[in-house]
Amino acid sequence: MAHDTSPNDIRQVWKDVRAKLAETVSTHNFESFFSKLELAGLDDGHAVVATGDEFLKAWVEDNYLDVLEDAFEDVVGDISVEIVVEHHPTQAELPIVRPEERVVPNSVARSALFGVVRRGRRKSLEKEPIAAWRNCSVVYTGQELDQGDLDVWMQALRLMRDEELGTEVHFSARGFLKEIGRRTGKSDYQWLDRALTRLKANAVEVRLDNFAYVGSLIHEYYKDEDTGRFVLVINPKLAGLFDFGMTRIQFEERLGLRRQFSKWLHTYIQSHRATPNHPHRIGIAKLRDLCRSSTRRLADFRRKIREAMTALELLGVVTSWRITDGDALEFVRPYPKSID
């Protein structure tokens, strides 16, 4: 079949093929193999897929070539696929996720950047060090961000699923609000506008090993007066944060949680692999700092942990948990099953 081979068309075909692959193979295999491939060429009945790794080329050819060809066939019809080794420049894109998921960098999921903020007590911070996990440092300038802001940011990232970072994405406020489980009254539109403005009007410095992201969480946000729709732009450099680990969030599950701390803990738990042989353990005082809780008495904070963890266990987010004699929260997550 004849096929237009313009760069824009190739890019769209590859997005559609990757989406098919994400539905077919396990998350581990997708991220380990297919996410590192690029569509270098497409013509009549023939696709050229490029990688910069000889081992990866051989591995895909030996184990997944039929899966790759099936995905192409679903998108463009019967086609042969050739895998070549070449250093093909990649575009700044976010990871592909399933419809029910949202994704955030681990540096966000395991920090107080989006913390637990009491209603009406949002502070303005200037060059404030933010509690973060181990080899990560975060410095923040702007209004404090809470879990509602994280819902908005995750949905903003979701809007970029079919676009290269740095390009404009147009959206309706009504559709955006419905996606994050909000009503669509006047006060909800105003709330969304304030949240998106906060995410734009800030400065974040995240440093991980030899990488640093310095910029706002949303590069641009404005209303297109000609169409009445809103416009978002995400800084392409932000994609680098995902290279240091990311957390896939079950979004509907998260939206069903009403308490700020429960939402923060839900995200934090999903950012860690915690098995019966290797449960995750974190000190109670450290946990309080990491979520930026204003609860002063540890006894009160422990009570909040018990309430939140009981609810999360009922949802199946954890299979077991306890507060240890050494005053730490310990939990075990369900063991994920591969889908090949």
pLDDT at 193: 96
The pLDDT value given to residue 2: 38
Cα–Cα distance list, 306 to 152, 276, 309, 321 (Å):
27, 20, 5, 9
Query: Tens digit of pLDDT for each residue in 34-50?
Result: 877 888 889 878 999 98
Q: Would you place residue 136 in the very low, low, confident or very high pLDDT band (cuts 50, 70, 90)? A: very high
Domain 101-248 architecture: Orthogonal Bundle (1.10)
Q: What CATH class is the domain 7-85? A: alpha beta
- Count Cβ atoms below 10 Å from residue 193 Cβ, excluding itself: 14
Mean pLDDT comparison of 57-61, 86-90, 133-137, 291-295, highest-scoring range: 291-295
Is a pLDDT exceeding 60 seen at residue 294? yes
Segment among 1-15, 34-48, 258-272 with least mean pLDDT? 1-15
Strand-strand pairing, 220-223 and 46-51: unpaired
Chain segment 167-211, per-residue pLDDT in tens: 899 999 999 999 999 999 999 999 999 999 999 999 999 999 888
Share of the chain above pLDDT 70, in %: 94
The reported pLDDT for the residue numbered 216 is: 96
Question: Distance between CA 39 and CA 123 in Å, rounded?
Answer: 47
Confidence of residue 4 (pLDDT cuts 50, 70, 90): very low
Residue 318 pLDDT level (bands cut at 50, 70, 90): very high
Q: How much is the pLDDT for 53?
A: 79
- Segment 149-166 shows an average pLDDT of 91
Task: Identify the pLDDT of residue 6.
Answer: 62
Q: What is the pLDDT of residue 246?
A: 92
The phi and psi torsions of 214 (rounded to 5 degrees) equal -130, 115
Q: Tell me: pLDDT of 88 over 50.
A: no
Contact 130, 113 (CB under 8 A): yes
Contacts of 215 (CB under 8 A, 6+ apart): 203, 204, 235, 237, 238
Q: Which pLDDT band holds residue 19 (cuts at 50, 70, 90)?
A: confident
Domain chopping of the chain, boundaries: 7-85, 101-248, 257-332
The residue with greater pLDDT, 9 or 279, is 279
Beta-carbon contacts of residue 85 (< 8 Å; ≥ 6 apart): 50, 51, 52, 53, 54, 57
pLDDT at 235 over 50: yes
Sheet containing 328-332: order of strands: 280-283, 328-332, 320-323
pLDDT computed for residue 92 by the predictor: 63
Phi-psi region of 77 (alpha: psi -120 to 50; beta: other; left: phi over 0): left
pTM of the model: 0.76
